[in-house]
């Protein structure tokens, strides 16, 4: 029943498409566009050896859009938290790009990861697939193909599947566009959770985001700021520790 409820809500929201498309075109013309953060997309958090290794793939937040430095983005933030919790060094790498969908990451970005064993994969996707009005089954197929590509690149490892943010709460989005994209994002997040439920090596962690968290967004009202990334990393930490056995 859960999937049917989300599917129905997303389908009904398609009635908003004519107005929402006009709003989307207007936003693309007027929105404040922020660059990806400077800095390296690999690094290490200090601790004892042997080091844990994490590899992350995703869309614009993982690419650090709107941040002053890559060090403020999700992957290094989570690496620091894992190192602090375990006492182990954590080596991290990220392959991400603004505007990327799950299919695009699988085709174009996984190959940028160093082909070496890792202890944990992190996937942060869903916003661009929501904007593309991706269907539930296509989204799940693309996620499964991405996970298989990660295994081929680095070998098998547990997967932390970050929840799709509820776009209803993105400050920049006007109604009814935010209603349509919010419904689609909730559907895809449900699909990601359902996919994770079929495999004990995949854990889905919903993103806790609501309308009271506008201070966690960059000036564009669309991407998380440094505080938003820090909170996101803290939300993912318990699952990450469980997946790596700590």
201-210: burial string, b at 16+ Cβ within 10 Å, e else: ebbbbebebe
**Structural domain boundaries of the chain?**
2-243
CATH architecture of 2-243: 3-Layer(aba) Sandwich (3.40)
Contact 187, 9 (CB under 8 A): yes
Using alpha carbons, select from 79, 101, 102 the residue that is nearest to residue 90.
79
Note the pLDDT tens digit of each residue in 193-218: 999 999 999 999 999 877 667 899 99
Q: Which two tokens stand for residue 73?
A: 């983005």
Q: What number is the average pLDDT over the span 126-131?
A: 96
Task: Fill in the DSSP letter of residue 224.
Answer: B
Query: Taking each helix axis from N to C terminus, what angle separates 74-86 and 226-243, rounded to the nearest 10 degrees?
Result: 50
Task: Fill in the DSSP letter of residue 15.
Answer: G
Contact 177, 14 (CB under 8 A): no
The percent of residues in the chain predicted with pLDDT above 90, rounded, is 80
CA torsion sign for 36, 27, 123, 88 is positive
Q: Which residue has the tokens 């079929």?
A: 198
Whole-number pLDDT of residue 222:
94
Contact 165, 126 (CB under 8 A): yes
The pLDDT mean for the chain works out to 91
Total-model pTM: 0.92
Stronger pLDDT, 149 or 26, i.e. the higher one: 149
Q: Is 51 helix (H, G, I), strand (E, B) or coil?
A: strand
Confidence of residue 88 (pLDDT cuts 50, 70, 90): very high
Using alpha carbons, select from 20, 2, 234 the residue that is nearest to residue 130.
20
Confidence of residue 3 (pLDDT cuts 50, 70, 90): low
Residue 5 pLDDT greater than 70, yes or no? no
Whole-number pLDDT of residue 234:
97
Whole-number pLDDT of residue 1:
45
Using alpha carbons, select from 173, 146, 198 the residue that is nearest to residue 19.
173
Q: In sequence order, which residues have a C-beta less than 8 Å from that of residue 213 and are 6 or more positions away?
A: 169, 228
Q: What number is the average pLDDT over the span 80-104?
A: 98
């Amino acid at each position: 029943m859960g999937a049917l409820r989300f599917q129905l809500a997303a389908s009904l929201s398609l009635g908003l498409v004519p107005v929402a498309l006009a709003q989307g075109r207007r936003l693309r013309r007027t929105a404040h566009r922020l660059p990806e953060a400077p800095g390296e997309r690999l690094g290490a958090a200090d601790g004892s050896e042997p080091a844990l290794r994490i590899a992350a793939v995703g869309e614009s937040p993982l690419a650090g859009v709107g941040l002053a430095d890559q060090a403020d983005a999700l992957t290094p933030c989570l690496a620091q938290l894992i190192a602090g919790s375990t006492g182990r060094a954590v080596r991290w790498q990220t392959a991400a790009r603004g505007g990327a969908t799950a299919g695009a990451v699988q085709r174009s970005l996984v190959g940028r990861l160093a082909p070496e064993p890792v202890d944990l994969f992190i996937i942060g996707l869903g916003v661009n697939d929501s904007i593309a009005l991706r269907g539930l089954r296509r989204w799940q197929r693309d996620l499964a193909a991405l996970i298989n590509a990660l295994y081929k690149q680095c070998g098998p490892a547990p997967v932390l599947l970050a929840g799709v943010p509820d776009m209803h709460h993105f400050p920049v989005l006007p109604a009814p566009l935010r209603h349509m994209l919010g419904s689609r994002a909730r559907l895809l997040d449900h699909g990601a959770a359902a996919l994770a439920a079929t495999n004990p090596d995949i854990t889905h962690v919903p993103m806790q985001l609501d309308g009271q968290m506008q201070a966690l967004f960059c000036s564009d009202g669309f991407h998380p700021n440094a505080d938003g990334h820090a909170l996101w990393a803290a939300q993912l930490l318990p699952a990450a520790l469980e997946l790596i056995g700590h």
